[in-house]
């Protein structure tokens, strides 16, 4: 297959491009900023293409491309035009998003049907968002087929990139979310807290609108899903207070100032930060009788994992004699143990709790 990374002028896209070339792969490097893309292409010895995501232009540039790894966010803005172009050009689509609305779009019955008819595979979330938690979700479903409730979370130490920070800022004006009786349900940010041992002792955790609220439902069919991260206790109460100010935080004026600040001051964790930290992933499944399984696993830092995970997905698809068309999550494609095969990951640790 001939494959492309779109968005190599971004923090994570560039990391993936550099690692791909280091591993002997030859991606086409693409995006919207000619100077940055051509400079990186010259350095890495890769073909480059510069184009916007208008349907006609993107379809033309993808005509000879078999697979796209889409890394240009915010994905709520960029994924839909790229997917439409991929369906039109019969190009397989991957991305590294963690945004619920993108997952819901990818896994809609209409999109899945169009993908099958076009012979195209669509798989969102092939980075840290959401491979580790998706694999933990599938592992828990295997351990407890009758699970009715699923909770997933992670504890990370590394810094944050410009693109991820911008996505977080865009969400300040909205609520949190969970899956309740099979349907997405909003609730005030900061309203749900609990104690969770992610792998380093119990911490106060806050429910957040992480991508698995969407993807884990398609992977497991479990009807009730929440997603969690550890926070200092005071931060949990602060986030609840922030929900009252969401209309202000979501206003164009405030958003504009925050986004300009990110452009001027945020660059992303350096190599030492990425290599020197790890991430703890946790999941818990419960059935109607109160029987519970807990699964934990340790991975590389979030950005390092995204590089390793995304490229592993690409390698498996590029090297496959037949790619099944349709809409998939990472664990639907490769199974629960996929995470254990990615660089920097440990093995599952499983605890069973009977009440």
Q: 């019969």: which residue's tokens?
A: 90
How much is the pLDDT for 274? 64
Show Cβ contacts of residue 225 under 8 Å, excluding neighbours closer than 6 positions: 149, 150, 151, 152, 178, 179, 212, 213, 216, 217
Strand order in the sheet with 121-123: 48-50, 28-31, 3-6, 67-70, 92-95, 121-123, 326-328
Strand-strand pairing, 278-286 and 292-300: antiparallel
Strand-strand pairing, 121-123 and 92-95: parallel
How much is the pLDDT for 241? 47
Nearest Cα neighbor of 86 from 107, 62, 56, 110 is 62
- Tokens linked to 83: 């997917």
How much is the pLDDT for 277? 80
Distances (CA, A) of 109 to 46, 96, 99, 112, 220: 37, 21, 18, 5, 17
Q: 């660059």: which residue's tokens?
A: 267
Q: How confident is the prediction along the chain (355 residues), in pLDDT tens digits per residue?
A: 999 999 999 999 999 999 999 999 999 999 999 999 999 999 999 999 999 999 999 999 999 999 999 999 889 999 999 999 999 999 999 999 999 999 999 999 999 999 999 999 999 999 998 999 999 999 999 999 999 999 999 998 655 444 544 445 455 556 789 999 999 999 987 789 999 999 999 999 888 889 999 999 999 999 999 999 888 765 544 455 455 445 555 566 655 665 575 566 555 666 766 666 889 999 999 999 999 999 999 999 999 999 999 999 999 999 998 999 999 999 999 999 999 999 999 999 999 987 6
Show Cβ contacts of residue 288 under 8 Å, excluding neighbours closer than 6 positions: 146, 148
How much is the pLDDT for 156? 84
The secondary structure of residue 10, as a DSSP letter, is: S
How much is the pLDDT for 264? 62
How much is the pLDDT for 161? 45
Plot region of 125 (φ>0 → left; ψ -120 to 50 → alpha; else → beta): left
Distances (CA, A) of 318 to 2, 80, 260, 286, 335: 8, 23, 38, 38, 18
Show Cβ contacts of residue 159 under 8 Å, excluding neighbours closer than 6 positions: 268, 269, 273
Q: Please write down the long-range contacts of 81-85, taking CB distance under 8 Å and 24 or more positions apart.
A: 81/53, 81/54, 81/55, 82/6, 82/53, 82/58, 83/111, 83/122, 84/55, 85/53, 85/55, 85/58, 85/59
- Tokens linked to 323: 């790619």
Q: Which domains does the chain have, with CATH numbers?
A: 3-128+304-334 (3.40.50.720), 131-301+341-353 (3.30.360.10)
Show Cβ contacts of residue 113 under 8 Å, excluding neighbours closer than 6 positions: none
**What is the pTM (predicted TM-score) of this model?**
0.90
Distances (CA, A) of 149 to 52, 209, 223, 262, 349: 42, 16, 7, 37, 19
Nearest Cα neighbor of 176 from 191, 161, 160, 187 is 187
How much is the pLDDT for 190? 79
SS3 328: strand
């Amino acid at each position: 297959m001939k494959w492309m990374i779109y968005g190599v002028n971004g923090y994570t896209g560039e990391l993936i491009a550099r690692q791909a070339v280091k591993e002997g792969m030859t991606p086409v490097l693409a995006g919207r900023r000619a100077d940055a893309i051509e400079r990186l292409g010259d350095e890495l010895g890769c073909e480059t293409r510069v184009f916007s995501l208008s349907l006609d232009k993107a379809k033309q540039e993808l005509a000879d491309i078999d697979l796209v790894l889409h890394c240009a966010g915010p994905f709520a803005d960029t994924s839909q035009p790229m997917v439409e172009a991929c369906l039109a050009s019969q190009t397989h689509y991957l991305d590294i998003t963690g945004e619920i609305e993108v997952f819901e779009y990818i896994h809609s019955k209409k999109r899945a049907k169009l993908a099958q008819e076009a012979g195209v595979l669509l798989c969102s979330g092939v980075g840290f968002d959401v491979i580790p938690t998706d694999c933990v979700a599938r592992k828990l479903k295997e351990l407890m087929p009758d699970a009715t409730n699923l909770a997933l979370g992670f504890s990370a130490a590394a810094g944050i990139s410009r693109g991820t920070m911008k996505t977080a800022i865009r969400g300040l004006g909205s609520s949190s979310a969970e899956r309740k009786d099979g349907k997405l349900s909003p609730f005030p940010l900061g309203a749900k807290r609990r104690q969770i041992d992610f792998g380093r002792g119990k911490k106060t955790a806050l429910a957040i609108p992480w991508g698995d609220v969407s993807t884990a439902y398609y992977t497991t069919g479990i009807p009730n899903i929440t997603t969690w991260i550890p926070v200092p206790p005071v931060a949990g109460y602060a986030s609840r207070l922030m929900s009252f100010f969401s209309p202000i935080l979501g206003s164009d004026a405030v958003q504009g100032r925050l986004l300009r600040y990110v452009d001027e001051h945020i660059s992303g964790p350096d190599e030492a930060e990425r290599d020197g930290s790890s991430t703890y992933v946790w999941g818990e499944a419960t059935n109607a009788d109160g029987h519970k399984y807990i699964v934990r696993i340790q991975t590389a830092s979030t950005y390092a994992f995204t590089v390793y995970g995304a490229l592993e997905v690409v390698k498996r698809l590029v090297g496959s004699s037949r790619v099944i068309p349709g809409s998939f999550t990472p664990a639907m494609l490769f199974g629960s143990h996929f995470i254990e095969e990615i660089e920097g990951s440990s093995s599952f640790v499983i605890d069973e709790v009977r009440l």
